[in-house]
Amino acid sequence: MAPDPITLELYRHRYSGIAEEMGITLQRTSYSPNIKERLDFSCALFDGSGRLVAQAAHIPAHLGAMPDSVAAALAVFDHWRPGDVVILNDPYFGGSHLPDITLVSPVFLTGDAGEHRGESDTSGAESELSHSSLLSPLSPLSPPSTPHYFAASRAHHADVGGMSPGSLPLSTELYQEGIIIPPLKLYEGGELVESLLELVLRNVRTPDERRGDLAAQRAAHAVGDRRLHELAARHGNEELLAYAGHLQQYSERLTRAAIRTWPDGSYTFEDPIESVVDGHTTPAPIRVTATISGETVTLDFSGTCPSIFGSLNAPLSVTRSACYYVVRCLVGEDVPVNAGCFAPVQVDAPPGCLVNARPPAAVAGGNVETSQRITDAVFGALAQALPDRIAAAGQGTMNNCTMGGENADGSPWTYYETLGGGMGAHPRGDGFSGAHVHMSNTLNTPVEALEMAYPLRLTRYHLRRGSGGAGTHRGGDGIVREYEILRPTTATILSERRAIAPWGLAGGEPAAPGRNLLIDTDGSEEELSSKVTRRMQPGQRLRIETPGGGGWGNPSSR
């Protein structure tokens, strides 16, 4: 059928609204502060071929990686039944890094594979993994067929094992980073595969929290399944499926039309990441050439350094996510996020390089830190073509802080957080301060929630005044966040932009780089590396000072 413009817009919001409601369910039923408070997750809907239909405005780092997860599940399983749920986190098979666990489940619309019989209440997600009757939304009334849709969720779990609490260690190979889960069925026909769940939980430090967060993800899928059935009951399967395709075609047309307005040519930019070996920082270059040709753009990473010793290597799915995010920012807010957005964008990277790693290279930091540098590099290249559209470099790091140990009663705890910093200034104004820039898009953990959940005390939390770069428009300021340790704790910091400052544009000055400090009980300070693990004792403090954003324009004209 030919699409009706008004109906098309309605379906755009219907599909994205379902993904958003899935996210709200995941947030409200989750256990860990990392998901409940920081919202470190994404939810999405895919068509029966595994093409993205709608993704909620959650985590940019998941834009390109979530479709790869669904593709990995489809590559392994060609027979689906209602109630199936596939789990995976393998970075080399549809994942990004091991803490990001993805669930994928099929949706069969009424009349083909089953009749919707889901419960409307998801409040029992806590015990659902042990009692699988709560969330078995479909009971087959006829032989299963190809799913009409797939619901998917990806959540950053605060611990999946590995060599340090929080599972973002200073690793040198993937096996040190935690449990590796290839695409496997966690549920088959609505029945929990108990042995697989027990295997996962036995390999993590906080099994009860992981059990609850996995249940919350499945609860989110049940909501997506139910809402799709309600739409099908109201409008019919044919219209529902047709408009999923129309939306993808519409997004592709809008993206191609936007790219056509960009000047043709090839634009190259290089931005190094800080590789730390034995306490010494060595720049590892990321080089990208953006070639705009008509209505397509190719991003070629030839010239990027090979995989490095450490965890900053990125699988290609993470690189795609960063590239798609940049293009998505530049084509405008009116373009629906789905597979059509990505069709005009080609990403090439030599196998085995830093941004297209091969197993068993460590990748824990690739998803969180290298993704930020890829984003900076692509923006830097396209700034040569679109100087009036692009901001200076933001803080360029997620300032990952993971901690863990035992509570006074002997129970384990793990904490993970990314910290905001300065946004780069842009042609129309100053950058924001204390913001999560580009690929993270999470919130902070509120002080009250942090101190209630963990043996930590926040002694400082404020803007880092003056850390933004000077310019006609100033870059935003970073933040200072200081933790006092109340129980023996292992702390790991995985950060960037400590040695190489965020750059300015159009004559703007670079921002102040970040700093990591350990403050002893006597008040003495030790400056730490950008990547470091330390065993800390009660009374010691860990202070993280995040980078600002680069300035834009000559400071003398401010």
Nearest-angstrom CA–CA distance, 445 and 442:
9
Residue 134 lies in a domain: yes
pLDDT mean over 364-391: 97
Domain-located, residue 305: no
Does residue 409 lie in a domain region? yes
Residue 306 lies in a domain: no
Domain count, the chain: 2
Quick one: which of 58, 232, 220, 245 has its CA closest to 152?
220
Same domain, 249 and 398: no
Residue 335, in any domain of the structure? no
Residue range 412-432, pLDDT digits in tens: 999 999 999 999 999 999 999
Residue 481: domain span: 391-558
Q: Is the pLDDT of residue 26 over 50?
A: yes
Query: Across residues 135-155, what is the average pLDDT?
Result: 67
Domain stop point among 253, 276, 302: 253
Helix, strand counts (H, E) of the chain: 11, 22
Range 531-556 average pLDDT: 97
Query: Tell me: the pLDDT tens digits for 79-116?
Result: 999 999 999 999 999 899 999 999 999 999 985 433 44
Q: How far is CA 372 from CA 289, 357, 369, in A?
A: 17, 16, 5
Angle 207-235/194-202 helices, nearest 10 degrees?
140
Domain boundary among 219, 237, 253: 253
pTM of the model: 0.91
Q: Residue for token digits 């428009």? A: 473
How far apart CA 509 and CA 474 sit, in angstroms, is 9
- Among 253, 268, 284, the domain-final residue is 253
**Rounded mean pLDDT, 546-556:** 97
Asked if residue 211 belongs to a domain, the reply is yes
Does some domain include residue 311? no
Encode 312-348: b = buried (16+ Cβ within 10 Å), e = exposed: bbbbbbbbbbbbbbbbbbbbeeebbbbbbbbbbbebe
CB 326 within 8 A of CB 375: yes
Residues in CB range of 91: below 8 A, 6 or more apart: 97, 98, 174, 315, 317, 318, 363, 366, 367
Determine the pLDDT at residue 276.
86
Task: Tell me the pLDDT of the chain averaged across its residues.
Answer: 92
Q: Per the omega criterion (within 30 degrees of 0), is the bond before 165 cis?
A: no
Neighbours of 200 (CB within 10 A): 22
Q: Is residue 319 part of a domain?
A: no
